[in-house]
Every structure is written in C-alpha cells, then in structure tokens.
Amino acid sequence: MRVLLFVILSVLISVTSYAQTEQPKEIDWQETEAKIISIETFRTRRKLNEKATVVYTVKEDNKEYESRVLLDRFPFIGSMKSEGDIITVLYNKDNPLHLQTESNVFMTKYGLYILIAGGLGIMFFYYRNFFKKKSKQNLLNQ
C-alpha cells in the first residue's frame, strides 16, 4: 500500500511541476500539399529514418518554398513514399520553412499522455494481481 501511495504522489508531483512550467505558445499550423523532390535515409541509434526534401506553396504569400520533413517509416518496409509523390504537410504560419506531417503533430501533442496512461495501466494491473495473490495466501493461512 505504501508503494502505491508513493507512486501516486510521485505522479501528482511530476504532473503539477510540469503544469507550472511556462508552456510554449501554440503554433498555428497551416495545411498544404507538397511534392517530394528527394528522400534521404539516415540512421539514429538503432532506428532508420527518412527525411524528404519537398517543394510547396504557402497560401498567404503564394511563394514556393523548399524544405525537409521527416517521413513516417514502417520497420522492414520503409516510408511507402517515393520521389514525385504529393503529400500533405503542415507548415508554421510564422515560419513557413518549419514543416511537419500530421502524424508527427499528433505524437508531439499526445505522445507523453499515451506513455503515462500506458505506464499507469501496467502498474495497476501488476499491483492488482500482486494483492490478489497476497489475499489468497492470507485466506489459505487462516
């Protein structure tokens, strides 16, 4: 019981300290279509990543920009994109050279919450089974 109380207090303290830090301002993402010019594959630690150089037009000033964006990559398959493909990208309205794909924005926003929820779920599952075993042993000992 003490361990569970300690874990709950630790999570509450970390969440409240994170909430009190100054949060960066929300980025105004705009959606546009981009054409892939080239794809570069590179390795970071154990993971292979693919970065595409794309050309796209910004709606506000009708200028054509060239930038790079990280592509989603499936293990052993690749990104399923090739040169000449049209993809949907999100650019920062204040800095049009800052690009992301829609899935990267989702993981940036909600990835930490998914990780915390998964960890708490595993922890509660483990402790529930732990206390069931102890209660069965206590019944058998009586």
Q: What is the 3-state secondary structure (H, E, C) of the chain?
A: CHHHHHHHHHHHHHHHHHHHCCCCCCCCEEEEEEEEEEEEEEEECCEEEEEEEEEEECCCCCCEEEEEEEECCECCCECCCCCCCEEEEEEECCCCCCEECHHHHHHHHHHHHHHHHHHHHHHHHHHHHHHHHHHHHHHHHC
Distance CA(137)–CA(4), nearest Å, equals 20
pLDDT score recorded for residue 42:
82
pLDDT score recorded for residue 11:
72
pLDDT score recorded for residue 107:
65
Number of domain units in the chain? 2
Helical axes 102-141 vs 2-20, angle rounded to 10°: 160
Domain that holds residue 142: 102-142
- Residue 41 domain-assigned (yes or no): yes
Do 63 and 114 share a domain, yes or no?
Answer: no
Say yes or no to pLDDT of 35 above 90. Answer: yes
> For residue 6, what are the CA distances in angstroms to 2, 61, 77, 115?
6, 55, 43, 19
- Residue 10 domain-assigned (yes or no): no
Say yes or no to pLDDT of 23 above 90. Answer: no
Do 96 and 135 share a domain, yes or no?
Answer: no
Do 116 and 67 share a domain, yes or no?
Answer: no
- Residue 88 domain-assigned (yes or no): yes
- Residue 133 domain-assigned (yes or no): yes
Residue with tokens 């390795």: 43
- Residue 47 domain-assigned (yes or no): yes
Tokens of 104: 């990267």
Tokens of 53: 């150089």
Question: Average pLDDT in the 42-64 region?
Answer: 85
Say yes or no to pLDDT of 47 above 90. Answer: no
Do 73 and 110 share a domain, yes or no?
Answer: no
pLDDT score recorded for residue 102:
76
Do 141 and 118 share a domain, yes or no?
Answer: yes
What one-letter code names the amino acid at 60? E
- Going by pLDDT thresholds of 50, 70 and 90, the confidence category of residue 100 is confident
Q: Which of the residue ranges 56-65, 67-76, 89-98, 103-112 would you say has the lowest mean pLDDT?
A: 103-112
The top-scoring range by mean pLDDT among 9-18, 34-43, 101-110, 123-132 is 34-43
Do 80 and 124 share a domain, yes or no?
Answer: no
